[in-house]
Amino acid sequence: MYLDRFVNGTGQYIDDLKFPNMLYMSVVRSPYAHARIKTVSGGLNALEIKGFYNMKNDDNAEPIFAIDEVRYVGQPVAAVFSENRYESEDLIEGVDVDYEPINDAVTTIEASLKSKPIFGLKNNILSTTETGKTFDESEVKYDIKVKDTIDIGRVLANPMETRGIIADYRNGVLHIYVSSQSIHRLKNYFVKSLSQFGISEKNIVVHHVDTGGAFGLKAAMYPEYIAACYASMKYKKPVKWIETRTEHINSAHGGRGIRADITVYAKNDGEITGLDGDVYIDNGAYYVDTASDDLGNVIHLMTGPYKIEKAHLYGHYVLTNKSLNGWYRGAGKPEAGIVMERMIDLLADKLNMDMAEIRLKNAIDAPFKSPLGLEFKTPAKSLLEDALKYFDYEKKAKEKNVGIALFMLDQDAAPGETCRLIVKGGIIHVYFGGDVHGQGHELFARSILNKELGVEEDKVILELPDTEILKEGVGTWGSRSAIIHGSALIKAAELLRKDAIKKFGKYDKDILLNNEFDELYYYKVDYNEYTPNFNMVTSDPHDPDSIKIYSYYDIGKKLNEKNIMGQIEGGAIQAISEVLCETIRYSEDGQVLTTNITDSGLLTADKIPEFHTKLVENPSGFTDMAKGVAESPSTGIPIALARSIEVQLKTRINKFPIDRLELFNRVL
Amino acid sequence: MMVNIRVNGKQYKKDIEPRLLLVNFLRDELNLTGTHIGCDTSNCGACTVLMDGKSVKSCTVLAMQANNHEITTIEHEDPELDAIKDAYVEEQGLQCGFCTPGMIIESFYLLKNAGDKEVDDDYIKKNLRGNLCRCTGYRSIIDSIKKANKNIKEREEIHVSR
């Protein structure tokens, strides 16, 4: 089992794999946020590979290696190779790049909006989208309107294992081993990005390896991956690239990075009647497909658990001289919740209403089609009432150190997931379409098959799939792992049972394990599940040990309680650092000021909060009845913690991270 | 240059480049890949090993500095280390597993060196600040260490009573 493998140090992460004659790749990167490249000589560079990797070939796609211009610090310009890891880094010095710096870099949304056009467009907005219907103020009944700008800084995934890949072109087939959340999603990218080099779908196989954390980062495509593949085909040798942490901080795609200018319309009794405004995403220097998910989630989910009749939002993709936008735990969902809840607290303060009362007033109490286009089947009001009562909000609120959060967790169930079960040698080998990177899929795989098929848990092994053994698959992200893999597994187990009965006239576990079977099931789902959830936080902003997290989460059905608690505790510490100190910092001219993983703002073991958790089980409509959890702490805790600090400091909090060193005794 | 380094009780004599880091010596020369590289800057602790019983970050120790010294890694066979590993499994003190070898070696170190101090949350938190974990939020890691301490103590008592 993975737990045994990992505690013994026998996991096989990407950097643990070694192939004969393997080359190490090191990347020459731009030291400038914006510069023209006059000449480049040495290494593998754009003189040889003049192509793009992100499936879009227009002026704002990012090239694999910079062509004539660099737009951010850390952008790949060339790559060098050696059989010796140290020597490949030495070779970086041998690549000569003649830059002509352009001193016009923009590193914030504000600066980009104010700047002259610098990306070859009429302004620095790459494109604009919208949700809901525009409305005129005269169409809304309101007594009061409140406006604010909420800023949420860039946060980088920073998994403990950085990005890494081995491309191995052998016998006409390109085998790609990659630290990943979805080998199938990546294969799709590889097929499209590598066709320009004359290799087709049937000759590309992507292999999952033990993956040391991802948080959204490892479901996306990167130029270094394509460079490694090209080099392997060129040199006819395996090529390994392992990102250094410094490269990660400079170049890996960063999540969050949102500015929202929002207006909320309401009546004096607290009823919200309308919401509109503009949301801007820090897109980074080139087009990137992840940004449409991040921004899309913000502008679709914002009204969340509230019965707001009219809403309209513009979403703008703003180009900046930074590494590109990427996914980070929640990918726009926490941002939507944070913006809405910061506005509702502002409204409550203006109306002198209690923060729970105003939420109860507006929470949906029946299925509701939101004006931003989503259908919420599960009402939020009763859960809010239950949670407030369970944690005795009324009494705690008197301490004036409480913040609360109500939000809809959007679980990315669609389009479903695959599961293949191969029974051989007395073992059930499980292959999932979504690739585990810390969620413990193997735990529920074992318990579910024990329950469904009566086999001992140690007869079940979760295998690392490749795109041959499992031709189709979706991925592990979006609070979907337990719900969608568990359900696919139950269905595949049903097929096994039926097959055994068909072949042997009856089912028992010995018949199953003493014979060979092979079943594949694609559990198809055409909707996402939306579940209301609640957090409360109390704190003393001057005491580092004071943070208490209260979570009231509807998880449908507990598949493995310790595993669920681990997701909540892990999400909590990320949430706390996002509120207090975590971001990637840039100078005005685009230099990355964050120099290492500690500087990024990750918290250490002495900063953990106290937990009070209530897991509610209202079964979902999925076969295993589970609901998601992993993105709930990322959404609810920042909201409630920010409010808890705000009520005590009596200073409006509309910027994340808050970044005030006096908070929590300067220890952070 | 030639170095003599004892790793997990076994003597290794190797001709190495002077600039070779201990972590690369372990991973690339000895193929002991349980020790991981998380940051290269001695911030994260994924590469934690023991040198003559003291915890060090092997990404910022040169292999030649370990010449004639004794190194202990996650691959070391030791009943106390095994008890810690068991506790991590029981308490699910890991998710992606990448920080785990460093965490466990640091746990081994802080339990061995607790002396008269009580192995409680405060003691563990204080001694675990050099090791980052991005998945677990540390709660289950602290619980794993407490459980390991309890199991080791109980076993010692059994030995004494026998």
Q: Does A548 touch chain B (CB under 8 A)?
A: no
State residue A386's pLDDT score: 98
Question: Cis link prior to A657 (omega < 30° from 0)?
Answer: yes
Interface contact flag, A569 B129, Cβ < 8 Å: no
Please determine, for residue A56, whether its predicted confidence score (pLDDT) is greater than 90. Answer: no
> Coil, strand or helix: which one is B54?
strand
Q: Which helix (H) or strand (E) holds B52?
A: none
Joined together, the tokens standing for residue A48 give: 């040889």
**The pairing of beta strand A427-432 with beta strand A416-424:** antiparallel
Closest partner residue to B129 among A565, A573, A604, by Cβ? A604
Please give the CATH number for the structural domain made up of A255-412+528-666.
Answer: 3.30.365.10
Place of tokens 């059905």: A557
CA distance B88 to B84: 6
Query: Of the ranges A53-62, A459-468, B146-155, which one carries the lowest mean pLDDT score?
Result: A53-62
Tell me which DSSP letter residue A399 carries: T
Share of chain A above pLDDT 70, in %: 99
CA distance A49 to A67: 9
Joined together, the tokens standing for residue A232 give: 């392997």
Closest partner residue to B96 among A16, A159, A604, by Cβ? A159
Q: Distance of alpha carbon B21 from its chain centroid, rounded?
A: 17
How large is the ipTM?
0.97
Q: What is the CA radius of gyration of chain B?
A: 16
Tell me which DSSP letter residue A210 carries: B
Give the DSSP letter string of A377-394: -S-SHHHHHHHHHHTTHH
- Model confidence pLDDT, tens digit, residues B120-156: 999 999 999 999 999 999 999 999 999 999 999 988 8
Q: Confidence class of residue B162 from pLDDT cuts 50, 70 and 90? A: low
CATH topology of domain A416-524: Aldehyde Oxidoreductase; domain 4 (3.30.365)
**The pairing of beta strand A144-155 with beta strand A655-656:** parallel
Residue A92 has φ and ψ, to the nearest 5°, of -55, -40
- Model confidence pLDDT, tens digit, residues A251-278: 999 999 999 999 999 999 999 999 999 9
Q: Which helix (H) or strand (E) holds A164?
A: strand A164-170
- Residue A277's region, left for phi above 0, alpha for psi from -120 to 50, else beta, is left
Q: Show the domains of chain B with their CATH numbers.
A: 2-72 (3.10.20.30), 79-161 (1.10.150.120)
Q: Distance of alpha carbon A414 from its chain centroid, rounded?
A: 16
Interface contact flag, A85 B28, Cβ < 8 Å: yes
Q: Determine what percent of chain A falls in helix, strand and coil, rounding each to the nearest 5.
A: 30, 30, 40
Dump strand ranges (E) for A539-654.
548-554, 610-616
Helices (H) and strands (E) in chain B, counts: 5, 5
Interface contact flag, B95 A570, Cβ < 8 Å: yes
Tell me which DSSP letter residue A482 carries: I
State residue A172's pLDDT score: 96
Residues from chain A contacting residue B43 (CB–CB below 8 Å): 245, 596-598
Q: Does A646 touch chain B (CB under 8 A)?
A: no
Question: What CATH architecture applies to the domain A2-103+163-242?
Answer: Alpha-Beta Complex (3.90)
Closest partner residue to B44 among A85, A597, A608, by Cβ? A597
Q: Looking at residues A597-601, what average pLDDT do you find?
A: 94
**Residues 6 or more apart whose Cβ sits within 8 Å of residue A506:** A500
CA distance A536 to A391: 8
- Model confidence pLDDT, tens digit, residues A510-545: 999 999 999 999 999 999 999 999 999 999 998 888
In 3D space, the residue among A324, A306, A288, A364 whose CA is nearest the CA of residue A127 turns out to be: A288
**Residues 6 or more apart whose Cβ sits within 8 Å of residue A445:** A430, A432, A460, A462, A485, A489
- Model confidence pLDDT, tens digit, residues A414-449: 999 999 999 999 999 999 999 999 999 999 999 999
In 3D space, the residue among A303, A316, A634 whose CA is nearest the CA of residue A478 turns out to be: A634
Please determine, for residue A668, whether its predicted confidence score (pLDDT) is greater than 90. Answer: no
CA distance A221 to A201: 16
Query: Which amino acid belongs to residue B32?
Result: L
Joined together, the tokens standing for residue A392 give: 């005795």
Calculate the alpha carbon distances from B10 to A47, B69, B71, B72 in Å: 50, 11, 9, 10
Q: Looking at residues B97-125, what average pLDDT do you find?
A: 97
- Model confidence pLDDT, tens digit, residues A610-633: 999 999 999 999 999 999 999 999
Closest partner residue to A438 among B20, B36, B95, by Cβ? B95
Joined together, the tokens standing for residue A511 give: 């018949």
> Coil, strand or helix: which one is B126?
helix
Q: Distance of alpha carbon A562 from its chain centroid, rounded?
A: 22
Interface contact flag, B97 A438, Cβ < 8 Å: yes
CA distance B160 to chain A (A): 29
Question: Cis link prior to A305 (omega < 30° from 0)?
Answer: no
- Model confidence pLDDT, tens digit, residues B76-100: 999 999 999 999 999 999 999 999 9
Q: Confidence class of residue A398 from pLDDT cuts 50, 70 and 90? A: very high
State residue A544's pLDDT score: 80
Query: Which amino acid belongs to residue A532?
Result: P
Joined together, the tokens standing for residue A478 give: 């979006």
Q: Does A610 touch chain B (CB under 8 A)?
A: no
- Model confidence pLDDT, tens digit, residues A142-198: 999 999 999 999 999 999 999 999 999 999 999 999 999 999 999 999 999 999 999
Calculate the alpha carbon distances from B135 to A20, A212, A282, A516, A604 in Å: 33, 9, 26, 37, 12
Q: Looking at residues A322-347, what average pLDDT do you find?
A: 98
Same topology, domains A255-412+528-666 and A416-524? Answer is yes
The C-alpha torsion from A79 through A83 and A89 to A91, rounded to 10°, is -70
State residue A664's pLDDT score: 72
Q: Distance of alpha carbon A451 from its chain centroid, rounded?
A: 32
Please determine, for residue A666, whether its predicted confidence score (pLDDT) is greater than 70. Answer: no
- Whether the CB-CB separation of A211 and A435 falls below 8 Å is answered with yes
**How many of the other CB atoms lie within 10 Å of CB of A648?**
18
Please determine, for residue A659, whether its predicted confidence score (pLDDT) is greater than 90. Answer: no
All structural domains of chain A with their residue ranges: 2-103+163-242, 255-412+528-666, 416-524
Closest partner residue to B94 among A3, A565, A602, by Cβ? A3
Residue of chain A with shortest Cα separation from B87: A7
Average pLDDT, chain A: 96
State residue A534's pLDDT score: 98
Interface contact flag, A7 B100, Cβ < 8 Å: yes
Q: Determine what percent of chain B falls in helix, strand and coil, rounding each to the nearest 5.
A: 45, 15, 40
In 3D space, the residue among A377, A365, A369, A372 whose CA is nearest the CA of residue A302 turns out to be: A372
- Model confidence pLDDT, tens digit, residues A186-195: 999 999 999 9
| CA atoms within 13 Å, Cβ hemisphere of A465 | 30
Q: Confidence class of residue A663 from pLDDT cuts 50, 70 and 90? A: confident
> Coil, strand or helix: which one is A539?
coil
Q: Confidence class of residue A665 from pLDDT cuts 50, 70 and 90? A: low
Interface contact flag, A161 B34, Cβ < 8 Å: no
For residues A351-377, b (16+ Cβ closer than 10 Å) or e, as one string?
bebbbbebbbbbbbeeebebbbebebe
- Model confidence pLDDT, tens digit, residues A60-106: 999 999 999 999 999 999 999 999 999 999 999 999 999 999 999 99
In 3D space, the residue among A317, A331, A235 whose CA is nearest the CA of residue A283 turns out to be: A317
Q: Distance of alpha carbon A422 from its chain centroid, rounded?
A: 31
> Coil, strand or helix: which one is A223?
helix
